[in-house]
């Protein structure tokens, strides 16, 4: 079974602006590989963080330095017209799978509603570029986008929650679930089940998150549910993040685990790790 982490951040300079992340000035590909090997993780998708202006260059170099171990979900400036011209060739970059954006705060959150980003959805649909997003509070808008652009593959981050951008924990962090589950009716929407331990105040295996994972599984199915960690803000090891899914969720059969732990993600985002 290949175990692929749907989201990690790597950086070489600066402290994370999100205080939930490890407050260190670097978390490098070499450091990540050592921890991945220790935890039994075969590959990871890097989401370059905004606090390090060189993080995308670092991520693309990691793809070359560690074949099959890393891929990248990058970003283009949403407020620059020149970005539109780059969509067609975006996935021609070695290891670049797609785009990822947070739509938590204004003005970008409003852009989901007013049509400002129609060029992005249309261009990504045409070019076959998957888009991942942190967009708690904007799920109805994303549903309308998914319906209008049925060929666009959308992925919702962090079980639909706010990840480390909110101090809420346990059930208080999961009040968005009814709205999230409504998106399952759109076949072009998937969910990253990333960061589950970070929402819990309990110890491993973070049992109070299991029922929410089951709700996601029941709604989206194993082909649209992707395991991952966002490891630099987890309260536990990579190995425990893996075992939470592979050993502590008895309702997942072996085929489900193969899909959720990496197979489904690679298919959804088009990552051929053998290339």
Q: pLDDT (tens digit, 9 = 90+) per residue, 131-188?
A: 999 999 999 999 999 999 999 999 999 999 988 788 899 999 999 999 999 999 999 9
Mean pLDDT for 191-197 is 97
Q: pLDDT (tens digit, 9 = 90+) per residue, 113-136?
A: 999 999 999 999 999 999 999 999
User: Is pLDDT of 275 > 80?
Assistant: no
Q: pLDDT (tens digit, 9 = 90+) per residue, 227-263?
A: 999 999 999 999 999 999 999 999 999 999 999 999 9
Q: Return the pLDDT at 163.
A: 83
Q: Which CATH class is domain 4-269?
A: alpha beta
pTM score of the predicted model: 0.97
Q: Return the pLDDT at 70.
A: 98
- The domain limits of the chain are 4-269
Q: pLDDT (tens digit, 9 = 90+) per residue, 102-111?
A: 999 999 999 9
Q: Calculate the average pLDDT of the chain.
A: 96
- How crowded is residue 92: how many other Cβ atoms within 10 Å of its Cβ? 8
Mean pLDDT for 11-28 is 93
Q: Return the pLDDT at 71.
A: 98
């Amino acid at each position: 079974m290949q175990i692929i982490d749907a989201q990690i951040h790597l950086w070489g300079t600066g402290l994370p602006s999100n205080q939930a992340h490890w407050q260190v000035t670097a978390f490098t590909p070499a450091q990540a590989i050592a921890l991945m090997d220790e935890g039994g993780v075969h590959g990871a998708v890097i989401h370059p963080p905004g606090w390090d202006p060189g993080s995308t260059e670092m991520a693309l170099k990691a793809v070359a330095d560690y074949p099959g171990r890393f891929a990248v979900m990058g970003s283009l400036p949403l407020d620059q017209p020149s970005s539109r011209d780059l969509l067609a060739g975006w996935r021609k970059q070695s290891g670049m799978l797609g785009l990822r954006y947070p739509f938590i705060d204004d003005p970008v959150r409003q852009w989901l509603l007013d049509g400002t980003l129609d060029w992005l959805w249309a261009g990504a649909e045409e070019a076959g570029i998957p888009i991942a997003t942190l967009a708690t509070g904007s799920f109805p808008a994303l549903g309308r986008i998914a319906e209008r652009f049925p060929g666009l593959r959308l992925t919702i981050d962090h079980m639909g929650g706010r990840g480390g951008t909110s101090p809420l924990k346990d059930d208080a962090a999961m009040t968005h679930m009814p709205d999230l589950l409504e998106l399952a009716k759109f076949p072009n929407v998937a969910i990253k089940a990333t960061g589950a331990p970070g929402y819990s105040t309990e110890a491993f295996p973070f049992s109070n998150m299991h029922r929410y994972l089951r709700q996601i599984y029941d709604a989206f199915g194993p082909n649209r549910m992707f395991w991952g960690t966002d490891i630099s803000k987890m309260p536990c090891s990579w190995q425990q993040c893996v075992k939470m899914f592979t050993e502590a969720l008895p309702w997942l059969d072996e085929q489900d685990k193969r899909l959720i732990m990496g197979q489904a993600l690679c298919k959804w985002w088009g990552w051929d790790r053998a290339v």
